[in-house]
């Protein structure tokens, strides 16, 4: 870019009073002058409001009734002015120097810069793996190709993405037809509007504390919820294709993805009445497992072999054993993934 880009860091918060101060502080401490911090408190009932107000004029704060993350980020974006937008989750932390590194690789035509994120415990101490699991040196062209074929690509969760204002202006505000989680739609649509550049090192601390939306093991119905999100992703991609002239993806592509396959199996074993994928069954998932892992021309890894075996066993084992294997797979995070990593 011909000038240094400006940043808008938007923090949507709901009842994360014990964490939101750290998120704001990490944004304020970034060594980049051209930045604004916008905090949307989405009707919190804990001590969040007092914590946010302590930062005074250093942040632009809005205090609204509870409407959900999507509406909070819609408001935050409408109030922002930066060239680059980061939707920082209120329980996450930007590592010092993150904005400078993102700015150093920014160029016209980028839809987002994605960085690696380091899991931490509730106190911010690094634990577990860095995610997503992605090959170093992956190019924007490779990411686009994978996204267009499979409707997904390795991506960090929300806080690990820095979005082009030019891109977001084309899709915001997100209405109720889109997923309640902002990053679901933005991640799915980004490859259709520009390049995705990956920084191969962690610049965000992703706090895990038991209440995370991504913690599937918090409730059996969460797997069915994630399957339902696949519809929202498909809808988002269809909107992007209509807008950019790409061919519309077909419904059957949902049955060709390895990570969604695992969620489908878990959903049908744990909460079959809430499983919302028309035409799906354990019998179909059984055949899809062979089609995806054994008969696909795509090159597969040792980890794919583990997941193939896991898929077959969870389908055929008695309920209590299947439940144990599902819990082991997702609570232990045998393979780290965010959205559908293939």
pLDDT in the model for residue 338: 34
- Alpha-carbon separation of residue 155 from 30, 63, 169, 184, 205 (angstroms): 23, 30, 21, 11, 15
What is the mean pLDDT of the segment spanning 3-21?
96
Indicate the average pLDDT of the chain. Answer: 91
pLDDT in the model for residue 337: 39
263-283 pLDDT tens trace = 999 999 999 999 989 899 999
Nearest to 1 by CA among 100, 80, 82, 83: 83
Predicted TM-score (pTM) of the model is 0.88
pLDDT in the model for residue 341: 35
232-243 pLDDT tens trace = 999 999 999 999
Residue 342 has pLDDT above 80, yes or no: no
Within the chain, what is the greatest distance between any pair of CA atoms?
Answer: 62
What is the mean pLDDT of the segment spanning 204-211?
84
pLDDT in the model for residue 250: 86
- Per-domain residue ranges for the chain? 7-207, 216-331
Domain 7-207 sits in CATH at: 3.90.550.10
Residue 135 has pLDDT above 90, yes or no: no
315-332 pLDDT tens trace = 999 999 999 999 988 875
Question: Locate tokens 């109030």: which residue?
Answer: 79
What is the mean pLDDT of the segment spanning 167-174?
98
Q: Give dist(CA 87, CA 236) in Å, integer.
A: 18
Of 216-220, 302-306, 337-341, give the lowest mean pLDDT range: 337-341
Of 69-78, 125-134, 180-189, give the lowest mean pLDDT range: 125-134
pLDDT in the model for residue 334: 40
What is the mean pLDDT of the segment spanning 100-107?
97
pLDDT in the model for residue 197: 97
112-131 pLDDT tens trace = 999 999 999 888 888 878 98
Nearest to 183 by CA among 78, 61, 89: 89
pLDDT in the model for residue 299: 63
- Alpha-carbon separation of residue 136 from 23, 115, 195, 340, 341 (angstroms): 28, 11, 17, 18, 15
Of 5-14, 212-221, 277-286, give the lowest mean pLDDT range: 212-221
What is the mean pLDDT of the segment spanning 26-42?
97
pLDDT in the model for residue 212: 66
Reported confidence tier of residue 216, pLDDT bands at 50, 70, 90: low
Reported confidence tier of residue 294, pLDDT bands at 50, 70, 90: confident
According to DSSP, the residues that pair with 110 across neighbouring strands are 195
Of 23-32, 205-214, 274-283, give the lowest mean pLDDT range: 205-214
């Amino acid at each position: 870019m011909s000038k240094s880009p400006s940043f808008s860091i938007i923090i949507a918060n709901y009842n994360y009073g014990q964490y939101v101060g750290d998120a704001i502080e990490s944004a304020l401490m970034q060594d980049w002058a051209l930045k604004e911090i916008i905090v949307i408190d989405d009707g919190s009932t804990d001590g969040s409001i007092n914590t946010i107000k302590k930062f005074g004029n250093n942040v632009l704060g809005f205090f609204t009734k509870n409407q959900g993350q999507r509406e909070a980020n819609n408001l935050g974006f409408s109030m922002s002015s930066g060239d680059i937008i980061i939707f920082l989750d209120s329980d996450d932390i930007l590592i010092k120097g993150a904005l400078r590194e993102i700015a150093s690789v920014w160029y016209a035509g980028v839809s987002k810069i994605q960085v690696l994120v380091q899991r931490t415990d509730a106190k911010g101490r690094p634990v577990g793996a860095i995610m997503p699991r992605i090959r170093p040196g992956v190019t924007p062209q490779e990411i686009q190709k994978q996204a267009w074929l499979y409707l997904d690509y390795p991506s960090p969760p929300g806080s690990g993405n820095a979005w082009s204002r030019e891109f977001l202006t084309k899709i915001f505000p997100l209405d109720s037809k889109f997923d309640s989680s902002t990053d679901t739609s933005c991640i799915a649509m980004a490859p259709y509007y520009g390049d995705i550049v990956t920084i191969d090192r962690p610049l965000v601390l992703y706090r895990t504390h038991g209440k995370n939306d991504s913690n599937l093991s918090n409730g059996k119905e969460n797997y069915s919820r994630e399957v339902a999100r696949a519809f929202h992703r498909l809808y988002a991609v269809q909107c992007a294709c209509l807008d950019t002239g790409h061919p519309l993806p077909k419904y059957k592509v949902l049955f060709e993805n390895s990570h969604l396959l695992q969620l489908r199996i878990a959903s049908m074993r744990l909460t079959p009445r809430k499983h919302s994928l028309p035409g799906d069954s354990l019998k179909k998932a059984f055949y899809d497992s062979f089609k995806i892992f054994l008969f696909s021309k795509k090159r597969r890894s040792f980890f794919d072999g583990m997941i193939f075996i896991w898929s077959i066993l969870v389908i055929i084992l008695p309920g209590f054993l299947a439940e144990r294997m599902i819990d082991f797979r997702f609570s232990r995070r045998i393979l780290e993934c965010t959205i559908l990593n293939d």
